[in-house]
Structure formats: C-alpha cells, structure tokens
Amino acid sequence: MGGKRPWDQRRLRLQKLLRDVRLEAGLKQEEVAERIGSDQSFVSRYERGERRLDLVELEAICAACKVKLEEFARRYSASRK
C-alpha cells in the first residue's frame, strides 16, 4: 500500500506553522530553545518533523513566541482551507 498517509499534510502544516510563529516573533531557534529550557537541536528537530510535541511543550513554544495556544490552534485549523 503506497502513497502518503492522511496525516502527512497535517504534519507538514504544523511544521510550517511552528516555524512561521518563531520567525514572526523575530526569534532564532537558539532563542526559542533558551526560553523553553531546551537546546537548539530540539527546536530544529520539531520544525523538521523529526520530533513530535506534546501539549505542554507546544504551550511553552507558543509562550516563547508570544502567541496564545488558542491562536496557534486557530491558525492551524485555518491553514487547511
């Protein structure tokens, strides 16, 4: 059974949005990592889709980028249109 899994596009949208909110905040990966108590490779891995995030991590990333979690979710939902 070939082809893409149905969630592949959703993960790509999530990766793009994570990067977009960081860039909109004017932050480098290192700066986000410092704000969330992690290292730059953690930020790089989740932006490339090599690392999944749990809700607590996503909330911390949103706070670091000064975006409310609710706004992030709204933007994610709107990106599928």
Q: Band of the pLDDT at 1, cuts 50, 70, 90?
A: very low
Would residue 12 count as lying in a domain?
no
Would residue 40 count as lying in a domain?
yes
Would residue 33 count as lying in a domain?
yes
Range of the domain at 32: 24-78
Q: Do residues 45 and 51 touch, judged by C-beta distance below 8 A?
A: yes
| Alpha carbons 15 and 79: distance in angstroms, whole number | 12
Domain count across the chain: 1
pLDDT exceeds 90 at position 8:
no
Whole-number mean pLDDT of the chain? 93
Would residue 31 count as lying in a domain?
yes
| Alpha carbons 43 and 38: distance in angstroms, whole number | 8
| CATH code of 37's domain | 1.10.260.40
